[in-house]
Amino acid sequence: MEIHAAQDGRPTTGEADAGLSLPVEPRPLATPEEAWRIAKSLNYRHIEGTVVAVAQDVETGEILMVGHMDPVAVVLTLTTGLAHYYSTSRRRIWLKGETSGHLQIVREFRTDCDGDAVVIKVFQIGAACHLGTRSCFTSPNSFHVKL
Amino acid sequence: MEIHAAQDGRPTTGEADAGLSLPVEPRPLATPEEAWRIAKSLNYRHIEGTVVAVAQDVETGEILMVGHMDPVAVVLTLTTGLAHYYSTSRRRIWLKGETSGHLQIVREFRTDCDGDAVVIKVFQIGAACHLGTRSCFTSPNSFHVKL
């Protein structure tokens, strides 16, 4: 293996430089043809032409966040195995974790009976919430009422 | 116990007539004052002035359905312990199970970091999906892709 010297003098591998040391491997869930067939079948009736997308921890079942997907986000999620959403505020596709590194590695994808919502089951790297908690539903801003 | 004769001649109890034999008791999660405080804190930025509402099985963690709530649906859910949604197609509040009897008895209610989504954990009576499956994400219309 070729060894590089990082700018701080610490020796690193090419792999570590590329930031690719993930605990599980992202793998495609569908071919591009299959992914487009699923994407075309959905009903993008939510804001900005999207479906609701719910991310659930594949190991614990905890609901991590609720976002939106447009057709391209659906296809990118299925063909890369990395969760992509459509930001209704920034009006663009985003790869979850693109700046934070907090990727979601997708293992399962389901659509609902009327095709306007999807559930993805994911390995969450780090925190799902931008406020630093694992789930957006356990953030410091959240209300929680339980019997 | 008083015994009534149903119209088909089958003897039934008054309790069964009223359709009140539930396996668990619905109980309020909040006072009206607390419920309105929570409802007022949310950001109803989704279609028809709603938040997204995800119903999750309190026992298994399975995601049962995705719906919407307006402020009144939030308050009714919290004060009755029975899931209420806002139908964006019929443009009215609905008590889940009002015609089917497939009520959702709510045990936990959480809001997310930016106040535009809620998760409720419920005991689901019968099927959550109008197509007869327990979850809308396992309906005959659903796509399911899994690694």
pTM of the complete model? 0.86
Query: Model confidence over B41-61: pLDDT tens digits?
Result: 999 999 999 999 999 999 999
Distance from CA of B24 to the nearest CA of A (A): 12
Among candidates A47, A63, A110 on the partner chain, residue whose Cβ is nearest the Cβ of B119: A63
CATH of domain A28-138: 3.10.20.810
Question: Residues of B with CB below 8 A from A130's CB?
Answer: 113
Are residues A52 and B66, on separate chains, in Cβ contact within 8 Å?
yes
Contacting residues of A for B114, CB less than 8 Å apart: 136, 141
Q: Where are the domains of chain B?
A: 26-138
Amino acid A52: pLDDT: 98
Name every chain A residue with its beta carbon within 8 A of the beta carbon of B78.
Answer: 145
Whether residues B113 and A129 touch (CB distance < 8 A) is answered with: yes
Question: Which ipTM value was assigned to this complex?
Answer: 0.85
Beta-carbon-side half-sphere exposure of residue A6 (alpha carbons within 13 Å): 10
List the single best residue of B50, B114, B141 to mutate versus A (max A Cβ within 10 A): B114
Q: What percent of chain A has pLDDT over 70?
A: 86
Mean pLDDT value of segment B64-73: 98
Q: Which two tokens stand for residue B62?
A: 């399975």
Instruction: Identify all chain A residues contacting B146, using CB atoms and an 8 Å cutoff.
Output: 29, 107-109
Question: Which of A119, A130, A140 has the CB atom closest to B137's CB atom?
Answer: A119
pLDDT band, very low/low/confident/very high, at B8 (cuts 50, 70, 90): very low
**For residue B9, what are the contacts with CB-CB under 8 A and spacing of at least 6?**
none
Q: Which residues of B touch A60 (CB under 8 A)?
A: 61
- How near does any CA of chain A get to the CA of B97, in Å? 17
Using an 8 Å CB-CB cutoff, list chain B residues near A143.
38, 41, 109-111
Residue with the bigger pLDDT between B66 and A15: it is: B66
C-beta separation of A138 from A147 below 8 A: no
Average pLDDT value over all residues in chain A: 89
Q: State which fold the B26-138 domain adopts.
A: Ubiquitin-like (UB roll) (3.10.20)
B144: left (phi over 0), alpha (psi -120 to 50) or beta: beta
The C-alpha angle with vertex A97 and arms to A94 and A103, in degrees rounded to 5, equals 115
pLDDT value at residue A23: 84
The whole-angstrom separation of Cα B24 and Cα B47 is 33
For testing the chain B interface, which of A82, A112, A122 should be mutated: the one with the most B CBs within 10 Å? A112
Q: What is the pLDDT of residues A106-116, one digit of tens each?
A: 999 999 999 99
